Structure 1
Amino acid sequence: MNHSELDELLKIQTSAEDYIIKSISSSDKKTLTNKEIMSILHPVLRWDEEDGTPVLSGESILPSDENISISKHHRFIPIPSHQHDFIELFYVYSGSCTQIINEKKVTLNQGDMCILDTNVTHSIEATSENDIIINCLMRKDYFDTSLLSRLSSNDLISNFLVHAIYQSKDYNNFIIFHPGQRQKLHGLVKDLMCEYFDPSVCSKEIINCYVILIFSELLQIYQDQTPEVQILDQTTNTKNISKILEYIQKNYITATLATTAETFNFHPNYLSTLLKKTTGKSFKEVIHEQKLKKACTLLKNTDMTVEDISLEVGYNNFSFFYKKFKDAFGVTPLEYKQTK
């Protein structure tokens, strides 16, 4: 399947859309209950209800042998407020759409993307013929293990992004990206859909690779353009945090709270608060995390002794390194090295 064939496929009205157009008047659409809407869209969407809020289950939506499901959002009918237990990547292929996410009205235009964490409450207003929206659903355990470990095991920026999605206390659990004219990203999304709708040999691995590339592009957009990030408090200095994390990533062995704060013209107390608010970790915890991830890379990919690796990543006290490593990963450095 090429991009032109994909475009034709996405423009075709589904049987549910045909029914909506031919059998439901505009006034009736506004009075439909959740269950009535579900009966129209079934089996694409199935849910249970808790306290009146529909909760979509990945077990009922995602095929049992797949970690990712891609589908076209049904047009011409509003989707009521709901939650789900999987990660959703929402892409506007053409036109636009308006959602209410965590009680905030958000309009996405062609090319925009939105990542929704689990348990985010959102609804979608009815879309028209030219509004083609793509839903990419991912099991959270796949997002945790397969995607993140391959995306960037040593990148504090990607860790910050992921933590932002997962954090439930101080964040709203969704991120919006406005890629603009980044044709590489739009091309990758189209390639992903072509492979999914018309699978080739080794299709699952190809799809995994496309997802990795798409998230890598989103990380670039995050760093280069500081997109509309709905996870942060309006007073947070979002433009500085990625630069600070980059600095820590490059200078984790020698960086201190005082020297880092001085580099960015902050008071140390302010920097400490900023890091805690945006990453959920203290400065020391961020430093230790980076040191231990570097240690993991060396343990997996070199013949260096554990003692040498401890010194290489900035731990002069081997016993302290041993304890921090086991606390973080549940195994000793030597046990970790032996399983590589």
Structure 2
Amino acid sequence: MTKDEKAAEAALAELSRRFPTLRWDFRPDPVGGRTELISQWLGDPEEEVMLCAFTGDHIDERFHRQDFFFINFAYHGTYEALSARYSNRVTLEEGDCYIGQPYSGYAMKKSGPDPVSIVGILIQKEAFLREYLAPISEDPVLLRFFLEPMKNRYADEFIKLSLPRCSPIWNLLRIMMTEYVGGNLCSQKILKSLTLTILLYIIRSYHEEQEKAVKPTLTESLLQYIALHSDSLTLQSMADHFGYHPVYLSRLLVKLTEKTFSELLLDSRMRKAKLFLENTPLSNEKIAELLGYKNASNFYRAYKSYYGTTPRVTKAA
């Protein structure tokens, strides 16, 4: 075992020791008027990213919801997560991760002789929207997943991924554990940067799993590429990626979708714009930047022409 691996194991042991002392403050939902218990932020209020860990052979959490985003990793061993949406237990084997939205129902369950280590990255909701929305906005499916709780308080969606041991995510997670336990100067800045890197790797892994499950058609591949790169895409760059001549690609898109490249690009941008306006407090200037517009005026005109209404009216609705 290397020095860094020993430091990570020591950090895991310390996080596990702290686990029972965290602010396990379950309260009835003060806003929704429902009976489910809500777990408040477990760390210090000034922390925007925190880590926690459980190690042992038995855990029977109360079913609850939480007011933050979280990514739980089956670091060693296997455990089960009780999911509200499917009303059953989801098995998390070693190497899996479970991504939960704010207010999604959840409970960790484990019993038996074999110990398990579960490591969680917790992110305050406001910090998530401020720090991590831009990279996630490239993917409309993931964007909808992370923004849905802003509109539907009890969305109850989750993402489960299997991460190979060769994934850089595991090294990054070990670095995060060591950094969090050490609590040195600039730790929060470092943790937030590492969280962003892990999220980007998770996005990549998510797409790889989706492609393995169902091989997309050519039309789906082209539309997905537009959606993923709509903030900076040109016909030339897309043609280069797929190995086509721009003129051929232009004609192919019309043949397959009955829309031009410019129309498809606008469709993608406007769908994302509507999600931002309906689910976030972002300004028109920030939304324009995320969508790839040079200024807010261009975004405003495009939105009004496309939807027949203004961004302000959509946000106020």
Q: TM-score, normalised by structure 2?
A: 0.67
Secondary structure of the residue that 2:71 maps to in structure 1? strand
Q: How many residues align?
A: 265
For 2:15 and 2:49, locate their aligned partners in 1 and report how far apart those are by CA, in whole Å: 23
* Whole-Å separation in 1 of the counterparts to 2:59 and 2:99: 22
**Which has the larger Rg?**
1
In 2, are the aligned partners of 1:226 and 1:239 still within 8 Å (CA)?
A: no
- Residue 39 of structure 2 is aligned to residue 56 of structure 1: yes
Match of 2:243 in 1: none
Aligned pair 1:45/2:24, yes or no?
Answer: yes
1:77 and 1:125 in contact (8 A); partners too? yes
Select 1:101's aligned residue among 74, 83, 105: 83
Q: Deviations over 1:219-244 (max 9, x none)?
A: 11112232899xxxxxxx79566763
Cα separation, 2, equivalents of 1:121 and 1:145: 24
SS of match in other structure, 1:180: coil
Letter of the 1:208 partner, please give it: K
Decide which of 149, 163, 167 is 2:148's aligned counterpart. Answer: 167
Distance in 2 between the 1:11 and 1:227 partners? 37
For the 8 Å contact 1:165–1:173, the answer to whether it is kept is: no
Partners of 1:329 and 1:15 lie apart in 2 by 49
1:15 and 1:249 map into 2 onto residues whose CA distance is 42
SS in 1 for 2:73: strand
Q: Which residue is equivalent to 2:242?
A: none
Partner of 1:114: 98
Counterpart Cα distance in 2 of 1:208 and 1:324 = 38
Identity %: 13
1:135-284 to 2 correspondences below 5 Å: 135-149=120-134, 151=135, 155=138, 157=139, 159-167=140-148, 172-226=156-210, 239=216, 244-249=223-228, 260=253, 262-263=255-256
Secondary structure at 2:37 match in 1: strand
Structure 1 residues 320 and 214, CA, compared in 2 at 3 Å: closer, same or farther?
Answer: same
Match of 1:137, SS state, is strand
Q: Which has the higher contact order (CA 8 A, sep 6+)?
A: 2
Structure 2: gaps of 5 or more residues:
239-250, 274-286
Q: Does structure 1 residue 5 correspond to structure 2 residue 10?
A: no
The residue identity in structure 2 corresponding to 1:72 is A
Q: RMSD of the alignment, in Å? A: 4.3
Q: Kindly provide the CA deviation profile for residues 164-188 of structure 1, in whole angstroms up to 9, marking residues without a partner as x.
A: 2333679642111111233311111
- Is 1:133 matched up with 2:135? no
* CA spacing shift, 1:139–1:261, aligned 2, 3 Å: farther
